[in-house]
Chains A and B, each alone.
Chain A
């Protein structure tokens, strides 16, 4: 079984400031890792993913995340946020083994960018 913990339910930040959204996971098997963003009244959009290789992953809209296997973390970062980054962010994992590969999501972090 897998689980994902997003430690912060809400993160307020001022425009142009840096931000980090935390994600920790628990799994008995190797996993793929994802960050999705959900804007109001829209579906989930993939920001970035880690499958293998370099532990620093760059995604869309200037976001990046670093996979830390020893700490079982996959924190999301952006050096300078914009008002338009205000949204709900979800961390997710899936089992690397062939099979259903359904995603297990965290409960989400609401990023609120203030002017």
Chain B
């Protein structure tokens, strides 16, 4: 079946602009995670959804970052007033209930803020 997909694969924007990154999880997966991977580092947790609600947003770095999952499937990560330090690969992962914690990752969106 289809895996986790993320669009766009690459996004270049200018400092101060607003961006939206989209994640389509595997069909039927109830849990959805966003991570950020900076160059040369491992992914860092941003936010976790269980269904439609954000169960844990403790990883969001500041209030410029926001994510939604209105129908419990597709999720959008929104970044306002982008800064050069936001440049990274943004990864999405999904997980079904009872999978023993295996998260399935998408290919990521590479965000470059000029």
Contact = CB atoms under 8 A, between A and B. Distances in A.
Partners in one complex: yes
Contact of B105 (A45, A94, A106, A108): A45
Interface string A80-94: 000000000010101
Interface stretch (B11-19, B38-46, B60-68, B80-88): B38-46
Interface string B57-94: 01100000000000000000000000000000001010
Given A43-B4, A43-B107, A100-B56, A49 B42 contact: no
Contacts of A102: 33, 45, 48, 56, 59
B102 interface: yes
A105 B101 contact: no
Interface residues of A, number: 25
A94 B42 contact: no
Contact of A49 (B3, B55, B91, B100): B100
B45 A104 contact: yes
Given A43-B4, A44-B105, A45-B105, A103 B100 contact: no
A65 to B, nearest CB: 15
B103 A103 contact: yes
A94 B101 contact: yes
B25 interface: no
Interface in A17-32: 32
Contact of A51 (B43, B55, B101, B103): B101
The list of the 7 closest CB pairs from A to B, nearest first, reads A105-B42, A100-B56, A102-B45, A44-B105, A43-B105, A43-B107, A100-B48
Interface string B1-43: 0011000000000000000000000000001010100001111
B43 A103 contact: yes
A74 B48 CA distance: 25
Contacts of A107: 40-42
A100 B55 contact: yes
Contact of A105 (B3, B43, B56, B58): B43
A83 to B, nearest CB: 22
Contacts of B48: 100-102
Contacts of B104: 46
